[in-house]
Amino acid sequence: MDIKSIARPEVVAMRPYASARNSAAADGILLNANEAPQPLVDDSQWQRLALNRYPPPQPEQLRERLAGLYGVGQDKLLMTRGSDEGIDLLTRVFCRSGRDAIIECSPCFGMYRIAATIQGAQVVDVPRVAANGLQIDFNGLLKAIETHADVRLVFLTSPNNPTGDLIAQADLRRVLDACEGRALVVLDEAYIEFCDAESAAGLLGDYPHLVVLRTLSKAWAAAGIRCGAVIADEEVIQLLQRVMAPYPFAATTIDAALRATSSEAVARQRAFLEMTRLGKADLQKFLCQCDWVLDIWEGEANFILLRVPAADELVEWCAGRGIRIRNFASQAQLEGCIRLTIGSPNEMAELKSALQAYGERA
């Protein structure tokens, strides 16, 4: 498949900017980037990280670390500022304003639609089926792919946010087969570590038009450093690099990401995932005993979606007790729905106490 044939021709034709760090090694006497020769802050971190210098655009040690975690070659990985930047880059490279389109299956992560709207691309929505537990309508999705010749990106999420459901590999392959030669299939795996499912990255060899998004924000407990990755065919990676900022990462972010994925952090992650699993099972059991809960989507991620008679009221009740929960009631098919993230045991105890009091109110 010729990836360039579905990318914006002006991006394919453009000559990308070459930063000082991309065009020459960062050793010796550095007089090529208009930097200061030394930090002006007398601080050990400034000295250790050489914060007077521009950091590498794609730091080799971190790229090697993430490629190892995700089981892919380094040439198939682009580090981004969270998954959001990956979504934005893909939309900018593959969607022409006023001409091309994306497909999403709502309810889903809102940034797919936002990125497309900013780019001036059409959004083709294939709504999930409410009667089937808000599962994807794969027959409708395949029909939309066939009908809309202008579709360049098909966004899928596994596990999905906010419903938490997984996409079976057989269904993913059906979508990939339908999109061959026409569009990229972008699979957002932001929550994949919370379940037993394997990443779809292993399919890249068979499907060069597959793109997988990963992040350190969720299961690696590093949302504040804004580090994610696009995993894709080398040609896709090269196109995204053409429009990416020349220095996307701060040196402090690179340092923090390496610490967040160290061998010590891997051991701590196992404990965190187990804590989340147990906390979720306990909350699920509690919610099943609440007669005011109308529907529950347990899903496969670190949250539970539920429908209640008065979502706004419940959100306000919890806020009054210092607990912030996410209100989805304004979204189509999610009327009355709220999402509860699994926190620490103490936080879950506080949440259950607030929910218990809510159910017992006069």
d(CA 257, CA 81): 11
d(CA 117, CA 97): 9
User: Which one-letter DSSP state was computed for residue 136?
Assistant: -
One domain, residues 221 and 171: yes
d(CA 46, CA 50): 6
Domain that holds residue 310: 265-360
pLDDT for 362 equals 44
* Model confidence pLDDT, tens digit, residues 167-189: 999 999 999 999 999 999 999 99
* Model confidence pLDDT, tens digit, residues 252-265: 999 999 999 999 99
Token pair in block for residue 156:
């899928």
DSSP character string of 152-175? EEEEEESS-TTT-PPPPHHHHHHH
Q: C-alpha 197: how far from its chain's center?
A: 16
Q: Are 155 and 125 in contact (CB under 8 A)?
A: no
pLDDT for 168 equals 97
Token pair in block for residue 61:
């040690």
Q: Are 155 and 188 in contact (CB under 8 A)?
A: yes
pLDDT for 22 equals 86
* Model confidence pLDDT, tens digit, residues 81-108: 999 999 999 999 999 999 999 999 999 9
3-state secondary structure of 215: strand
Last residue of a domain, one of 226, 261, 296: 261
Helix-helix angle 82-94:234-243, to 10 degrees:
90
CATH number of the CATH domain containing 314: 3.90.1150.10
Q: Are 141 and 105 in contact (CB under 8 A)?
A: yes
Last residue of a domain, one of 261, 290, 320: 261
pLDDT for 37 equals 94
One domain, residues 218 and 288: no
Alpha helices of the chain — where are they, by DSSP H? 9-13, 20-23, 44-49, 60-70, 82-94, 111-119, 138-147, 169-179, 234-243, 251-260, 263-288, 311-319, 345-360
The residues with which 151 forms a beta bridge, in sequence order, are 101
d(CA 313, CA 146): 43
Nearest CA to 332 among 133, 152, 113, 108? 108
Which stretches in the chain have pLDDT values below 70? 362
Place of tokens 């979204």: 331
Look up the pTM and report it: 0.96
3-state secondary structure of 100: coil
In a domain, 30, yes or no: no
Strand order in the sheet with 210-215: 77-80, 228-231, 210-215, 184-188, 151-157, 101-104, 122-125
pLDDT for 1 equals 78
The residues with which 60 forms a beta bridge, in sequence order, are none
> Into how many domains does the chain fold?
2
One domain, residues 103 and 199: yes
One domain, residues 157 and 272: no
One domain, residues 126 and 216: yes
